[in-house]
Amino acid sequence: MRVLVVDDEPKILKFVSLSLNALGFDVLVASNGEEALRISAADSLDLMILDVFMPGLDGFGVLERLREREKDDSSIHLPVIVFSARSSVAEQALSLGASDFILKPFLPEELAEKIKATVRQSP
């Protein structure tokens, strides 16, 4: 399963990517919203894990642009799990089209289960 992890914190990117790789996922990383959109347009992905609070284009902006892109091409749909240390953003993320939300910190196995469940439920 090919997963894109998006976060502006290098330590979080490294932890999540190494953890998911160890659990058998093929992981790509992006350190900002613009890079995430470029990779998601160019690569075949099964899911995106997206931080909300990033400089420049934040996670909410990425979600909005992804869902706009999908309106133009109904053959694409990328499930997105938003992750943040602030639970208060969950409702907004879900209203913008996130498939699920996970609160930081989390166990890698917990994230892996959410990924598998989200991809199974995705159209």
Read off the pLDDT of residues 36-48 as tens digits, 9 standing for 90 and up: 999 999 989 999 9
Q: Give 10-30 pLDDT, tens digit per residue.
A: 999 999 999 999 999 999 999
Q: Look up the CATH number of the domain holding residue 99.
A: 3.40.50.2300
Please indicate, yes or no, if residue 86 is contained in any of the structural domains: yes
Domain assignment present for 122? no
Q: How many domains does the chain have?
A: 1
Q: How many whole angstroms separate alpha carbon 75 and alpha carbon 117?
A: 21
* Mean pLDDT for all residues in the chain: 94
Q: Is the pLDDT of residue 123 over 80?
A: no
Rounded to two decimals, what is the model's pTM?
Answer: 0.94
Per the structure, the complete domain to which residue 91 belongs is given by: 2-115
Domain presence at residue 35: yes
CA distance 33 to 30: 8
Mean pLDDT of the 94-120 span: 95
Residue at 121 is within a domain: no
Tell me the C-alpha to C-alpha distance, in Å, between residue 7 and each of 52, 75, 84, 103: 8, 27, 10, 14
Q: How many CA atoms lie within 13 A of 1 on its CB side?
A: 24
